[in-house]
Structure 1
């Protein structure tokens, strides 16, 4: 047996009808209501189609998902004014990851003081240099990896470097470098000890590069740590102040300042990811 229960709003409507039309109208309304319940004749609600929904009623995509799929052409990535005037060596494309292998250098306090002196001296001669945001010694050129290559590429590097031993190298001679596109000139300090071990590591890295048909390192590399840079090919202008800057390195009160790297861990930077490969301890 089915029993129908009226809502409070329905009760109120029935009471209002009884007040206005009397008991007879109230009885007719009650009878009509009873017939509807017994026959199942209820008013139907209209379904709302998805296409009729207002955009405001649709849930927005989370920001983390939108960041995963940026616009194909991002003008900011190609705007040199947003990067201190630097220009890309190759156009930024979705799925391409700029990649290079290197030793990191963590500057000590004395190095930072020397670098400030070098920049000041260069500035007095009209040569404005921008210090590097971070310091490293490259063991490869910058190449482009597809995203699905990253895992096998780093696995190959790890396997090749597994038996390489850690060592120490030093650098104290300033040298000028210019990139292949002649868009930037660098002031660097060249490695004087540890070059043989560096070449052994480059051969390991080059083997992985060859596996993925990528460009290998320079034939006659000058291992160095870049200190500062300027836009354009200012090689000749920088040569004019090089001797003066070198005197600041060798003429310090405590003697020449050698930049010393503890080459204990090779790093691979690909996009915003960094992979680390510890080298074997000599002991």
Structure 2
């Protein structure tokens, strides 16, 4: 006897009677982050940094760094006294010039800028790299590379030869510098030792025809005389224009009040007067190029990463 085919069972449930468009569930608002967990975006104020502005935008977790040989010039030494005289002449000819190492602030709440004029040792920097930018995980590796270079380099004698005017790559600042004569060969060897590490980190080498120097004063340049790109014959060092950057609005401009404050407190010049460098070389060139005054020992290499400074003494042995 043939069985009848089974019929589908019909289920009756509340799901069958559900509306075609069920009501939307109300979304719950996420709790706001605690203020301690919010990383503030750096707000830059040129008035706090002598009118300087950031050349490279801030990137979270990225650290500006550069390598240099420190030269500490103590009061009562011949070089210290000479630099004092040079700066006096420079300030007379370029009132807008700023002495490197002196702290200057400007505020509309005070009649005059505050100048730290205490006589203390000047630490001059003889740059061996352009400013470079490291990620957090690259800092230790970079320090170790510099430490190895220091262990292989012997201390050496160097000396200054003349005064010169140099500009940064962006041509936003002009620098009064003391150029190095003796010691140039050893300094180029240090550049060669640094080059593989810089290339590995995808950073630019120092200049192909370096003019080793230390800067002792600077002045802001007019924006209509500045430009981007590599520096020209006079240009040499690329300088970070203020580690705290500039006070920018949402469209990347600075406020009108800040522009007025900069113009009032930190005037700009198109360039140093054409007679400044010849005057300095004529009056002080013989002294600065003498071994007694302009000679110095290079025995340490340093690196500044963010706000931290690390240094190592040269440990190499002289080879006869």
TM-score normalised to the size of structure 1? Answer: 0.69
CA contact (8 A) 2:90 2:276 kept: yes
Give deviations 1:152-211, integer Å, cap 9, x for gaps.
Answer: 111122224421211011013001100011110000000010100000001111111111
Q: Aligned runs of 1:1-283 on 2, under 5 Å?
A: 71-75=39-43, 78-109=44-75, 110-133=78-101, 134-232=123-221, 234=269, 236-250=271-285, 258-280=293-315, 282=317
Indicate if the aligned counterparts of 2:221 and 2:271 stay in contact, CA closer than 8 A. Answer: no
Q: How many aligned positions are there?
A: 214
| Partners of 1:119 and 1:128 within 8 A in 2 | no
- Does structure 2 conserve the Cα–Cα contact (< 8 Å) formed by 1:250 and 1:256? no
Give the superposed CA RMSD. Answer: 2.4
* TM score, norm. by length of structure 2: 0.61
Unaligned stretches of 5+ residues in structure 2 = 1-33, 102-122, 223-268
Deviation, 1:87, is 1.7
Deviations along 1:89-119, one digit per CA (max 9) or x if unpaired, are 2122321111000000101333332222222
Deviations 1:123-180 (A, max 9, x none): 3224432111141100111011111110111112222442121101101300110001
Once the two structures are TM-superposed, the CA of residue 261 in structure 1 deviates from its matched residue by: 2.9
C-alpha distance in 2 between matches for 1:88 and 1:257? 39
Gaps of at least 5 residues in structure 1 are 1-59
- In structure 2, relative to structure 1, the CA distance for the partners of 1:249 and 1:93 (3 Å cut) is same
Distance 1:139 1:155 in 2: 16
* Corresponding residue SS for 1:113: helix
Deviation at 1:236, TM superposition (A): 4.4
| Distance in 1 separating the partners of 2:272 and 2:136 | 41
Greater RCO (CA < 8 Å, at least 6 residues apart): 2
Measured in 2, the distance between the counterparts of 1:237 and 1:272 equals 30
Q: CA deviation at 1:223?
A: 0.2
Q: Distance in 2 between matches of 1:201 and 1:217?
A: 11
Q: 1: distance between equivalents of 2:61 and 2:42?
A: 14
Deviation at 1:282, TM superposition (A): 4.0
Distance across 2 between alignment mates of 1:108 and 1:198: 23
Q: CA–CA distance in 1 between the matches of 2:86 and 2:50?
A: 20
